[in-house]
Amino acid sequence: MRLPRRVPWTSIAELDQLCSWIYTDETDLDSKTTAINRLSAWRAITPLPHALECTLALLSAFVHDASVSQPSSHLSLRHSYAAAIIRLVNGLVDPLQLGAYARSIASIANQLGLPPWLVELRHAATHEDLPSLELLRQAARESMTWLLHNYFLPTLNPSTVPPPQAAPLRPLAPVLKLYKSLRKIITRDASLRSQYHQEIKSVFKDVERWIAEATVAANVAVGELGWDTSQKGDQSAKERWALERLCDALMEKGALVPLSKKKRVFPVDSFFPPKFSVELWSPLLSELHALHPDFPAILSTRIIAYLLADAPQLDMVPIAVDTTYDACLARWAMWTIDTWDAENSESELDLKKDVIVALITGLGPSSSLNRDTAAATALLQTLCAGNPEMDEAVSILLRPQTGSVIREWTSDDIAVMNERLTALLAVPETTADIPLSKLESLPVDVSDTVLAPGWRLLDASSGWKPSPIGVYVR
């Protein structure tokens, strides 16, 4: 559940009035001064959202610029404008510096839709010569326009403003392919480990930056551009969404599952993936687990969701499932649970239990999957092996269901139904005054129906009237 967020205005009408003071007339200094006073009063009560803090700084620079005509004051104006723009860009980007490795400000600003030249101007004002006053004025006007379209209007009328479009995520497959090729070299010749160590470390950083990019994309998709960073639960949900996209990429053929079926040779003594695949991918999976403790649970959950999903269809015809691919994914789920069970038994036992529950639910009698479930069944049996009670429960669960034999309708069936209909029509509307001798003369099934305890058929003479359910009318 999303927690309530404290805002300085008592109603949205106050924020609307503030917006009109700022944007109705650009040359109206009195309205802008009133807006500055209102924002200052709000700031004395509660911390302002970052957008309003930047608005206050930009408005103060505008009013100061309009009231000063001495050339000697141009330097202070340039500093005021530059500080306001730096504060705007940094305050937007810094809360979204997610992950273990920093990303460039330009890449995060691009995901937020911030004009790139504002980021360049921010860099120049921070590290290089201070930009000219005219350029800073133009940047301040551009910043105010951006705040109008990305903060004020969405806050005032969220239903009328189209949601921001996040930039598409860069593909992760090339990064995983590079990692795979590097690990193959090291696996085949261990003496090259130190030579390629730095390159593999760079791939780890690139994967982590991709996760950060996906998390920012999730923020943009829900219309949160870093204005409120207090919702930690929401932020963890967005990180989980990013990790799910990463797991989907890892589950593609050519990643965790070898592309060639000849390489999908499973160990005989364990329910694990091919040994060579484990040597290739276990360092990356361990790195992800170290930075994201929930990664094993997310990976196993995504694998189970795939194994229990209906087979894809083409022109209403199910596509044949690659059984060795499913078997390899099931073994990766088992490897994930087994590997981190030894490190954190309490957490991973919960993961194992969740996986078993999901498998039992998906493979139970009510399941209507139109795909081969051999891999999911084998995983369930392996997880429950060694526990007599669970073994017995799984054997009952997976036992073939015996039911009535479905056959075609015949003319004899219609005749039987007509006989039953005639018997039902022969039942009188009320049985209150029927002698017992007549009831006994009725067919057995009809007399049973008439004599059912607690039931009688009401007619118009009984005074019954239709009424809504739950309402009794005398």
Q: Containing H/E element for 447?
A: helix 444-450
- Report residue 26 as tokens: 């650009």
- Asked, for residue 419, whether it belongs to a domain, the answer is no
Contact call for residues 39 and 48 (beta carbons, < 8 A)? yes
Residues 199 and 117 in one domain: no
Distances (CA, A) of 315 to 45, 187, 307, 318, 320: 63, 44, 22, 8, 13
For 247-281, what is each residue's pLDDT tens digit? 999 999 989 999 888 888 888 888 999 999 999 99
Q: Which amino acid is at 294?
A: D
pLDDT at 355: 87
Residues 273 and 331 in one domain: yes
- Asked, for residue 450, whether it belongs to a domain, the answer is yes
Residue indicated by tokens 């839709």: 113
Burial of residue 198 (CB within 10 Å: 0-12, 13-18, 19+) is exposed
Q: What is the DSSP letter of 454?
A: T
Bridge partners, residue 313, by sequence? 318
Residues 117 and 199 in one domain: no
- Report residue 230 as tokens: 């207090």
Task: Give the integer Cα–Cα distance in Å for 259 and 286.
Answer: 22
Task: Give the integer Cα–Cα distance in Å for 82 and 133.
Answer: 9
- Asked, for residue 404, whether it belongs to a domain, the answer is no
Q: Which residues contact 283 (CB under 8 A, 6 or more apart)?
A: 183, 200
Q: Which residues contact 41 (CB under 8 A, 6 or more apart)?
A: none
Task: Give the integer Cα–Cα distance in Å for 348 and 447.
Answer: 61
Task: Give the integer Cα–Cα distance in Å for 401 and 365.
Answer: 8
Residues 213 and 362 in one domain: yes
Residues 150 and 186 in one domain: no
Residues 151 and 187 in one domain: no
- Asked, for residue 163, whether it belongs to a domain, the answer is no
- Asked, for residue 415, whether it belongs to a domain, the answer is no
SS (H, E, C) 394-436: HHHHCCCCCCCCCCCCCHHHHHHHHHHHHHHHCCCCCCCCCCH
Question: What sign does the CA torsion over 242, 243, 248, 254 have?
Answer: positive
- Report residue 426 as tokens: 């022969």
Q: Which residue positions in the chain have pLDDT lower than 70?
A: 1-4, 69-73, 99, 160-167, 219-235, 312-320, 341-349, 365-370, 400-407, 427-460, 470-474
- Report residue 315 as tokens: 């022109």
- DSSP for 38-106 reads HHHHHHHHSPPPHHHHHHHHHHHHHHHHHH---GGGHHHHHHHHHHHHHHHHHHHHGGG--SSS---HH
Q: Which residues contact 20 (CB under 8 A, 6 or more apart)?
A: 31
Query: If we measure between CA atoms, which residue out of 203, 231, 65 comes closest to residue 138?
Result: 65
pLDDT at 248: 92
Residues 90 and 202 in one domain: no
Residues 224 and 138 in one domain: no
Give the Cα-Cα-Cα angle 370, 376, 382 (nearest 5 degrees).
155
Residues 231 and 375 in one domain: yes
- Asked, for residue 342, whether it belongs to a domain, the answer is yes
Expressed as residue numbers, the domain containing 21 is 12-156
- Asked, for residue 95, whether it belongs to a domain, the answer is yes
- Asked, for residue 250, whether it belongs to a domain, the answer is yes
Task: Give the integer Cα–Cα distance in Å for 210 and 74.
Answer: 43
pLDDT at 284: 92
Q: What are the helix and strand counts (H, E) for the chain? A: 20, 2
Number of domains in the chain: 3
Task: Give the integer Cα–Cα distance in Å for 44 and 60.
Answer: 17
Query: If we measure between CA atoms, which residue out of 85, 84, 112, 82 comes closest to residue 97?
Result: 112
Residues 180 and 119 in one domain: no
Contact call for residues 63 and 37 (beta carbons, < 8 A)? no
Residues 134 and 92 in one domain: yes
Residues 199 and 348 in one domain: yes
- Report residue 334 as tokens: 């088992």
- Report residue 224 as tokens: 């949160």
